[in-house]
């Protein structure tokens, strides 16, 4: 049998299919776009499955359209992270429009979590806007920040005010790479504070699309003083967790 998990996020949609042993057989990704259900349906039509569970911000719409169960992003990421890292106790997931710090019990159940879902600061969308303002591609934003010899302090973490502050710094002739490093540092200071409120010890499994950013990885390790583990495909962890939960519930 095949079990699918679909993670309908604010920026992208991920679909993962696992077999009876819980091993990935297929994975697909597409942009969420302005019509997430149409895009989700197109993605699902490309694969075969016996049972599917949805997660992510669009999971309730998917539940209505497909008459299928859903699971919270917290549970999905916890389950997905444990697949690759059975001893994981702490997860940081930075998605398109929210961030989540999760701590788990020895048996993998969620012990505590905290979400940053009322402000875009530190999310993928925030990073995307800041990269564009500085003239960098989002894929190279972290690399450019790592090239900075020094960092500039960014006082505002509100997306609108931060964009204005960055524009002002550019107009004054400041180095874009140093501005980028300042932004990355401010983001990670906020994230580490969130992590420390749910867990202070052990390795951190870093998931979500922003986990690919090498500068964020480096700063997370430095500011937390903990080992940071990034899965090979960090953006698939939520969908993988949903697929594994679909396998367990049938």
Angle, alpha carbons 76-80-86 (nearest 5°): 130
The pLDDT tens digits along the chain (250 residues) read 999 999 999 889 999 999 999 999 999 999 999 999 999 999 999 999 999 999 998 999 999 999 999 999 999 999 999 999 999 999 999 988 889 999 999 999 999 999 986 666 678 888 999 999 999 999 999 999 999 998 888 877 777 788 889 999 999 999 999 999 999 998 898 899 999 999 999 999 999 999 999 999 999 999 999 999 999 999 999 999 999 999 998 7
| Element holding 12 (H helix, E strand) | strand 12-18
Q: Are 175 and 183 in contact (CB under 8 A)?
A: no
The fold of 87-230 is Nucleotidyltransferase; domain 5 (3.30.420)
Query: Where does CATH 3.30.420.40 sit in the chain?
Result: 1-85+233-250, 87-230
Contact 243, 18 (CB under 8 A): yes
Residue 31 phi, psi dihedral angles, 5° rounding: -70, 145
**Whole-number Cα distances in Å, 162 to 11, 157, 177, 223:** 21, 6, 16, 22
Fold of 1-85+233-250: Nucleotidyltransferase; domain 5 (3.30.420)
Beta bridge partners of 92: 101, 206
User: Phi and psi for 134 in degrees, rounded to 5?
Assistant: -85, -5
């Amino acid at each position: 049998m095949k079990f699918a998990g679909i993670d309908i996020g604010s920026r992208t949609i991920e679909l993962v299919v696992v077999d009876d042993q819980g091993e990935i057989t297929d994975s697909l990704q597409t942009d969420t776009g302005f019509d997430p259900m149409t895009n989700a349906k197109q993605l699902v039509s490309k694969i075969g499955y016996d049972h599917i569970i949805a997660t992510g911000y669009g999971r309730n719409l998917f539940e209505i359209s497909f008459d299928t169960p859903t699971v919270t992003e917290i549970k999905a990421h916890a389950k997905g992270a444990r697949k690759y890292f059975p001893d994981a106790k702490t997860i940081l997931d930075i998605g398109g429009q929210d961030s989540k710090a999760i701590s788990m019990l020895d048996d993998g159940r969620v012990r505590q979590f905290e979400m940053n879902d009322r402000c875009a600061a530190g999310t993928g969308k925030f990073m995307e806007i800041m990269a564009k303002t500085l003239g960098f591609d989002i894929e190279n934003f972290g690399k450019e920040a790592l090239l900075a010899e020094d960092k500039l302090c960014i006082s505002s973490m509100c997306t609108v005010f931060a964009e204005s502050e960055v524009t002002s710094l550019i107009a004054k002739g400041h180095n874009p790479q140093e501005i980028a490093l300042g932004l990355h540092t401010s983001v990670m200071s906020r994230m580490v504070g969130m992590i420390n409120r749910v867990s202070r010890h052990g390795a951190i499994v870093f998931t979500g699309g922003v986990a690919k950013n090498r500068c964020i990885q480096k700063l997370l390790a430095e500011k937390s003083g903990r080992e940071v583990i990034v899965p090979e495909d960090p953006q698939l962890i939520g969908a993988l967790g949903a697929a594994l939960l679909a396998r367990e519930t049938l």
